[in-house]
Amino acid sequence: MNRNRNKLKMKDIATIGIFSALLFVVTVLPGSVMALSLTLQMYSVAIIAIISAPLYMLIMAKVHRTGAVISACAIVGILWGLLGGVFILIWMVALGIVGEILASKTTYQNYKMLTVSFGLYNIAYYLRAIAPLYYYPSYIYGLGYPDETSQAFIEAAHTTAAYATIPVTLIAIILGAVIAKRLLKKHFEKAGVL
């Protein structure tokens, strides 16, 4: 009985579907624009984290049932997969499962735990978009750039400005979650949506 009550209803599925589509669009658009420059690209995950936090937190505020986190992550991952980004799908599902376990332990009510799951969602994107520069540098060499350019990319990824993207991204995740909480309280709770 309790298990049935905790299952996703059609209303929850529609909410997850629509907001996951928005999360995907919010990731693709700034990601593509910022890919024009390597330094900008390294900070893209931080920007995406701030913009996508209200969308992610609204899903969690409206759907606090088993499968909310993993479904949202899986949908964004599958949409990426349909565009050929199969590795994002793999990371999204893997970290989505971890996020789901953490969020479900507090029945999707604890904001700190939801922030952690949101952090994992962003890290999944970071692991495909930026992290290959660190854990798979031969990929950069294989891209076909002249050797000096590839070397310059690797070196650029090991500068202070590049290392700074890691704490900046973490701060952006927390900042995004705080902004999302305020926005939801200011607009959605007042309007009776939540």
Partner 1 sequence: MYRIDPRIIIIQIVISGLCAFWIFTPLGMLCEILFLMGFLFYLRLPKEALWLGFWFGLITGLYMLMSALSAPQVIERPIFLLRKMSPLVGVMMLSLKGMSVSELIAGLQKLHFPKSVTLALAVALRFIPTISQELTQIKSAMKTRGISLNLITLIKAPVVTTEYMLIPFMMRCTKVADELAAAAVTRAIENPAPRGMRIPMRIRIKDIVYLMLVICTNLGTLLYSHMG
Residues binding partner 1 (CB under 8 A) = 8-11, 13-22, 24-25, 35-38, 51, 54-55, 58, 62, 67, 71, 74-75, 78-79, 81-87, 142-145, 149, 183, 187-188, 191, 193
The distance of closest approach from Cβ of residue 66 to partner 1 in the complex, given in angstroms and rounded to an integer, is 10
**Between residues 115 and 150, which has the closer beta carbon with respect to partner 1?**
150
- Looking at the Cβ atoms of 96 and 119, the one nearer to partner 1 is 96
Cα of first residue to Cα of last residue in the chain, in angstroms, is 25
Nearest CB to partner 1, comparing residues 85 and 119: 85
d(Cα 4, Cα 65) in Å, to the nearest integer?
Answer: 10
Residue 15 or 117 having the CB closest to partner 1: 15
CB of residue 109 to partner 1, shortest distance in Å:
19
Least distance CB 164 / partner 1 (angstroms): 21
Smallest separation (angstroms) from partner 1 to the CB of 83:
5
- Residue 48 burial class via C-beta count within 10 angstroms: exposed 0-12, middle 13-18, buried 19 and up: buried
- For 143, phi and psi rounded to 5 degrees? -65, -20
- Alpha-carbon distance of 92 to 26, in angstroms, equals 16
Residue ranges of alpha helices (H) inside 63-85 are 68-82
Rounded CA-CA distance 166/22 in Å is 25
